[in-house]
Amino acid sequence: MTTTQGSAVAVELITVVIDGFEVSVPKGTLVIRAAEKLGIQIPRFCDHPLLDPVGACRQCLVDIEINGRAFPKPQASCTIPVEPNMIVKTQLTSPVADKAQQGVMELLLGNHPLDCPVCDKGGECPLQNQAMSNGRADARLDGYKRVFEKPIAISSSVLLDRERCVLCARCTRFSAQIASDPFITLNERGALQQVGIYENDPFKSYFSGNTVQICPVGALTGTSYRFRARPFDLVSTPSACEHCASGCDMRTDVRRGKTLRRLAGDDPSVNEEWNCDKGRWAFKYVTALDRLTQPLVRNSEGELVAASWPEALAAAAAGLKGKRAAVLTGGRVTTEDAYGYAKFARIALGTNDIDYRARVTSDEERDFLAAHVAGSATTYRDIDTADHVALIAFEPEEESPIVFLRINKQFKKRGLKVTAVATKRSIAMDKLKAEFIKVAPGAESAAVSTLALTAKSIILVGERASESAGLFSAVASLAAKTGAKVAYIPRRAGERGALEAGALGNVLPGGRPVADAAARVDIAAAWGVSSLPAEPGRTTTEILAALASGSLDAVVVGGVDTHDLHHGSEALAALKKSFVISLEIAPSSVTAVADVVLPVAAITEKSGSFLNWEGRARAFDSAVADSHNRSDVRILSMLADALGNPISLGTVTAAAREFNQLGKWDGARVAMNTVSPASTPSVSGSDAILTSWRRLLDMGTLQKGEDNLAGTRRPTVAVVSPKRAAAMGVNSGDQVRVSNAHGSITIPVLVEDIHDDAVWIPRNSFASQALVALDAVHGEVVTVVKA
């Protein structure tokens, strides 16, 4: 039970006596929590602080007496709130409670198999531990244990051993209450009661991994970790999730230099105790990708050959010396690495031509980032206290799952009002009972300006707003008009940190505007240089155009894949004719055309931090301690030395210290130019306006090598409205072809609630990579026909 933390309302305290000790706790606190406050541990299985009490396992029985009248039998302490004059006797002082607990334990163990040697939970199992602390030393069961077929796969990534289950209902309660994915339930009754899935409907939840973590026995196990290790083999390191901007606290468990599993950490202000399946299971890319192990330099025959570090750095420096160069960092760098790139561009290359956005972007977005996002401090707490949440160009479950969980928590708790301005209804909108304002792709800004928000409301705007001209301007003016808070939620983990570190053409570290002379002097003094370039730099699109036209000669590229860019093939051609230095973990489309390739450390091999969408630092340490790979910032520092313009950032710690010392800019921000919306194209016949976004589980590079996780992807479908489906003569499941002059995609159709002019396809799913196959973004006209 969480109390009214942070609010000004005085909390009514109730004093109870537990095992002879008095404790005062807020009204409504459960007896089991009050006992915890005294350090008295009552055994339990079903009880979980973030789930509603249920009293399913009966393990927490205690003797309770109120106003001198005792309950006739021991009571479950996880379901009874404290009351005045309550006297509680736990197993420590009451032989009756102790005997009752031992009896419950004996019944739980009656049908529990002696699987401990082969069970993944063995060694970290609450049932093992509490059987030792609160169970009988001997068994009286004389007979056969109940046997079920085992294990059964309730999804491709979660396996169920029904005979191990103690029917605590933690998993079913999590799925129903927290994730709103009630795909699993308790079936049957009595000894045959079991967790089950609906027929032909597997446990396809984005949050299914949490049930494995909270299962108090080994009934639910992850397919990928099954039989891999024992808890005492693992070396655990606190870490942060590198997959999205939610910023989950994590724990990485490593055995002999190999990551075997990741668990959600406990951070009440961010992810509580949950995470999504991508964060939990998508870590094998580090070993699955064909990693670069040594520098590569293109020789006179045009082939990339292995080189030593001094050779590669000399070749890179020779290629950059005296050239007009730019930097593209990619959105997955740590804050320290982004700061290294930002400083490298300004000092070593003498330019502001740096952009971290490796995706579909706009100039309007860059202005918005510098004006309203850099230095802003909207947090998860603001969702907790908001009266209304507006989702704009943002699909929380697919693009930032923990934000979805937090909105869902408030929706379940107090019916938080949610409004979504979108082209298509989504599963998350149904779960949140969101008001769906249906618009044509490109027409979002008109709908946004009519939203009725208050000063207590919060606007969550996603990075996809850059694909609809005028949308960021509309969001900014809506916020100014209503006083609502704005939170910009990018998809990638490193984006907010890169913005704050100044890896963008119009801002310096700490959100200082490049155009502001005082801000430049501030940073120049801190960096010990006489001046910094004053001209705001180019954007990603402009950098690539300048490389193509020859007004830039060279580029330093971090983790960028041209598949993520609009007009990716043109970007690749531009890189091909320029001098490219690529800092990468594995071969990519950029390393293929690079002149110097420098291998860098993957997340598990380095320390650093990310800033999540709130701007909260999520620091992590290297989980694989003996890796020889270096972080980007260290390599950039060596490269700057080779160029003769040192940036003096030899370690991640040095970069972090220097970045934190700079602090935030307290002067004026970049002023934002209002952009007027573009007119939406009118379509007729088989033409439709494309709208698309990425799914949480798709063809992303960081999900490589994890086939079990891939099995819980949502199906690849093209979504059309019932009216369009009728006109085309198709039903859900029929194949349709979405095409334009560039190419075509043929996938099954799903008839759903979407704007009549629009067609939705996933942006990077199997058989549907919109940017690669069609080179088309949100708002472009495509042709949809029955295949």
Partner 1 sequence: MTDFNENLNVEKKSSGQADINSVPFTEVEQPGPAPLGQQAKGFWVTFSSMFKKNQTVQYPDVKAPTQPRFHGRHQLNRHPDGLEKCIGCELCAWACPADAIYVEGGNNTPENQISPGERHGAVYQINYLRCIFCGLCVEACPTRALTMTNEYELADDKREKLIFEKEDLLAPLRQGMLAPPHPMYPGMTDTNYYNGDVKEAHPSQGAN
Q: State in angstroms the smallest separation of the CB of 503 from partner 1.
A: 42
Is the Cβ of residue 200 or residue 227 nearer to partner 1 in the bound state?
227
553 vs 543: CA distance, rounded Å: 10
Q: Considering beta carbons, is residue 189 or 232 the nearer one to partner 1?
A: 232
Burial of 139 (0-12, 13-18, 19+ CB in 10 A): exposed
8 Å CB contact between 56 and 169:
yes
**Could you identify the residue written with the tokens 């961010």?**
270
Owner of token pair 């202005």: 367
* Cβ(557)–Cβ(543) below 8 Å: no
Least distance in angstroms from the C-beta of 150 to partner 1: 8
Minimum CB separation of residue 226 from partner 1 in Å reads 7
Q: What are phi and psi of 785, to 5 degrees?
A: -135, 160
Q: For 145, left (φ over 0), alpha (ψ -120 to 50), or beta? A: beta
Give the β-pairing of 617-620 and 608-611: antiparallel
Instruction: Using the minimum distance from each CB to partner 1, give the nearer residue, 205 or 223.
Output: 223
Which lies closer to partner 1 via its Cβ, residue 38 or residue 116? 116
Strand 152-153 to strand 158-160: parallel, antiparallel, or no bridges (unpaired)?
Answer: antiparallel
Other Cβ atoms closer than 10 A to 239: 26
Nearest-angstrom CA–CA distance, 181 and 172 = 9
Shortest Å distance, C-beta 116 to partner 1: 8
Structure tokens at 391: 């989702």
Nearest approach, Cβ of 703 to partner 1 (angstroms)?
Answer: 22
Nearest CB to partner 1, comparing residues 147 and 518: 147
Q: Minimum Å distance from CB 154 to partner 1?
A: 16
Q: Is 400 exposed, middle or buried (0-12, 13-18, 19+ CB in 10 A)?
A: buried
DSSP assignment string, 613-674: TT--EEEE--SSTT-----HHHHHHHHHHHHT------SHHHHHHHHHHH----SPPPPPPP
Question: What's the closest the beta carbon of residue 162 comes to partner 1, in angstroms?
Answer: 14
Rg (CA), the chain: 28
Q: Which amino acid is at 317?
A: A
Residue 82 and residue 50 in contact, taking contact as beta carbons nearer than 8 Å:
no
Q: How far is the CB of 230 from partner 1 (least distance, A)?
A: 5
For residues 748, 754, 759 and 762, what is the CA-based torsion angle, rounded to 10 degrees? -60
Residue closer to partner 1, measured from CB, 118 or 517: 118
Angle between helix 335-343 and helix 652-662 axes, rounded to 10 deg: 80
Which residue, 95 or 231, is less far from partner 1 as judged by CB? Answer: 231
The β-bridge relationship of strands 69-70 and 194-197 is: unpaired
Which C-beta is closer to partner 1: that of 687 or that of 707? Answer: 707
Closest approach, Cβ 256 to partner 1, in A, equals 9
263: tokens are 């668990």
Q: Could you tell me which of 738, 740, 741, 742 has the C-alpha nearest to residue 768?
A: 738
Q: Shortest approach of partner 1 to residue 117 CB, angstroms?
A: 4
Task: Find the shortest distance in angstroms from Cβ 163 to partner 1.
Answer: 12
Tell me how far apart the alpha carbons of residues 392 and 476 are, in angstroms, rounded to a whole number. Answer: 12
User: Euclidean distance between the first and final Cα of the chain, in Å?
Assistant: 54
154 versus 439: smaller Cβ distance to partner 1? 154
When the beta carbons of 142 and 301 are compared against partner 1, the nearer one is: 142
Q: Which is nearer to partner 1, 67 or 232 (CB)?
A: 232
Give the separation between CA 638 and CA 632, rounded to whole angstroms: 10
Place of tokens 């020859």: 550
Cα(422)–Cα(443) distance, rounded to whole angstroms? 9
Task: Please say which residue, 123 or 568, places its beta carbon nearer to partner 1.
Answer: 123
CB of 393 to partner 1, least distance (A): 43
Q: In whole angstroms, what is the distance from residue 1 CA to residue 23 CA?
A: 16
- For binding to partner 1 (CB under 8 A), which residues are involved? 117-118, 122, 150-151, 226-230, 232-233
Give the DSSP per-residue string, 535-590.
Answer: S----HHHHHHHHHHTS--EEEE-S--GGGSTTHHHHHHHHHTSEEEEEESS--HH
Measure the CA–CA gap between 539 and 478, rounded to whole angstroms. Answer: 26
CB of 565 to partner 1, least distance (A): 41
Q: Output DSSP code: residue 183.
A: -
Q: How far is the CB of 204 from partner 1 (least distance, A)?
A: 23
Q: Which is nearer to partner 1, 122 or 748 (CB)?
A: 122
- Rounded-to-integer distance, Cα 596 and Cα 314, Å: 10
CB nearer to partner 1: pick between 223 and 539: 223
* Among 483, 480, 481, CA closest to 455: 483
3-state secondary structure of 252: strand
Q: Indicate the residue among 46 and 159 with the shorter CB distance to partner 1.
A: 159
Beta strands in 6-129 (DSSP E): 13-18, 21-26, 61-66, 69-70, 75-76, 86-89
Nearer to partner 1 by Cβ, of 147 and 668: the residue is 147
Min separation Cβ 662 and partner 1, Å: 47
Q: Take residue 327 and report the two structure tokens written for it.
A: 């930097």
The two three-digit tokens of residue 52, written as one number = 């509603």
Nearest-approach distance from CB 233 to partner 1, in angstroms: 7
Q: Smallest distance from the beta carbon of 119 to partner 1, in angstroms?
A: 9
Amino acid occupying residue 395: E
Q: How far is the CB of 371 from partner 1 (least distance, A)?
A: 54
